[in-house]
Structure 1
Amino acid sequence: MERKEFIKKGFSALGLAVVSPIFIRCDDSDDDPTQEVVSGGDGSCEVTPSETEGPFPTKNPTSLERVDIRSDREGIEMAINITILNGNNDCAVLKEAYVDIWHCDRDGNYSEYGGTGMQMTDYTSAHFLRGRQQTDVSGLVTFTSIFPGWYASRAPHIHVHIYDASGKSLLVTQIAFPEELCNTVYTTATQYYTKGTQDTSNERDNVFGDGYDLELATVTGNITDGFVLTHSIVVNA
């Protein structure tokens, strides 16, 4: 399914509005969409922090180019919209970049790993909640997933690895979630509340503890209709 058709149908089914970023033209006389700039509320263009890729990175991301990454995982549906911006070009959108994402399921388990002390459940033969997309002319990639669960000593998060069109690695980072929303999901959604709230806050997390303002996603929606995550990541390309 083409991305435009997916977005139109997907959000219509969820009954949610797409949260659109504010676009500022670099040159009013230039109609090239690759020159559009997405700016934060303060007009800044700061590169997103680099974070650890492990311990469960995707083993063969080129084989997982897909929009719907849920596979057989159950949970609250969540559309993930990530825009990639080029910090070396005044935060102009970066088209044709490859974006890999991966995250745990509602029980805190990752696919492609398991059977060890770090994750006892063995999912070494599964590939759920992992996917790759290439950014369009607006620098956007869109995935269909579920709201992630949590596991001990980590705040809820999504891993992201970004490459340029030639396959050169540009940035490995992570996306953080608003804690109040996580508390609501983990205590009231029937698919999640068996574990209760996460045991680690963003402030006490070993990844986000040094600051996560540039990594905190905007998440809209609700438990009944599903969620839409919107986030921009700035790389130096």
Structure 2
Amino acid sequence: MKRRALLGLFLYPLARAQCPPTPALTEGPYFLREVPRRQDLREGLPGVLLRLTLRVQDRTCQPLGGLRVDLWHTDALGRYSGVNAPGVFCRGWQATDGQGRVEFRTLFPGWYPSRTPHLHLRVEAGGRSFATQLFFPEEIQQRVYARPPYAERGMPRIGNRQDGLFRADLLLSPKPEGEGYGADFVLTLPF
């Protein structure tokens, strides 16, 4: 049996690695297509800096360059620009580089009554789109929401486990960076 398995290694090329696809979540009602292409989404607003680096790959774990990646979320007070506040703050898009990477500099999002804090992502690839959301550990939320301007609103009313869309496999692992946080996440497209 061992000899047959070894022979198979020589006769058949090694299969490509398989990366499990990132779970898709609703795009939500607040996506806006006409937003600036930019790295910094803060527009001078107060809040805790969040550096988010994304790597987009296919199911064989190969990086995907040249794809549009949109990021949007609320400001520190829980408002979406272009929806319940004027402007285009906390919104933007970038194209992935040859390593499938994009980096955004933005604010840690605020919250609104029906949801736990989250980020929205949308990736366009070959005429198709993929949307998901990313979440934050509650211990990081507690640290951030104790600081201004978040402190005036206090902690979110909905915790991660009470949010109907929350998934633990979409939880970021932010690390302190200066006065803010940095987080990396790999998005594996399902197609």
- Alignment RMSD, CA only? 1.8
Cα deviations by residue, 1:68-107 (Å, 9 ceiling, x for unpaired): 11113211111110111111xx221111111000000000
Aligned mate of 2:135, from 141, 162, 176? 176
Aligned mate of 1:207, from 155, 161, 165? 165
* TM superposition shift of 1:155: 0.6
Alpha-carbon distance between aligned partners in 2 of 1:201 and 1:79, rounded to the nearest angstrom: 23
Match of 2:6 in 1: none
Cα deviations by residue, 1:25-70 (Å, 9 ceiling, x for unpaired): xxxxxxxxxxxx9xxxxx9721111111122112424xx1111111
SS of equivalent to 1:227: strand
Alpha-carbon distance between aligned partners in 1 of 2:32 and 2:44, rounded to the nearest angstrom: 17
The answer to whether the 8 A contact 2:73-2:91 is kept is yes
Query: TM-score, structure 1 length as denominator?
Result: 0.70
Query: Runs of 4 or more off by more than 3 Å in structure 1?
Result: none
Q: Structure 2: give runs of 5+ residues left out of the alignment.
A: 1-15
Q: Which has the higher contact order (CA 8 A, sep 6+)?
A: 2
Cα deviations by residue, 1:185-233 (Å, 9 ceiling, x for unpaired): 112x12211111111111110211xxx13211120106x6211121111
SS of equivalent to 1:203: helix
SS of equivalent to 1:170: strand
Q: Structure 1: give runs of 5+ residues left out of the alignment.
A: 1-36, 38-42, 115-122
Query: Which residue identity is paired with 1:225?
Result: E
Identity %: 31
Match of 1:98 in 2: 68
Match of 1:110 in 2: 80
Match of 1:76 in 2: 48
Query: Which residue identity is paired with 1:82?
Result: L
Max radius of gyration: which structure?
A: 2
The answer to whether the 8 A contact 1:100-1:130 is kept is yes
Alpha-carbon distance between aligned partners in 2 of 1:59 and 1:134, rounded to the nearest angstrom: 14
The answer to whether the 8 A contact 1:84-1:234 is kept is yes
Q: How does 1:1-237 map to 2 (within 5 A)?
A: 45-61=19-35, 64-87=36-59, 90-114=60-84, 123=85, 125-164=86-125, 166=126, 168-187=127-146, 189-208=147-166, 212-221=167-176, 225-237=179-191
* TM superposition shift of 1:153: 1.6
Match of 2:8 in 1: none
Alpha-carbon distance between aligned partners in 1 of 2:26 and 2:91, rounded to the nearest angstrom: 17
Count, aligned residues: 176
Match of 1:5 in 2: none
The answer to whether the 8 A contact 2:47-2:148 is kept is no
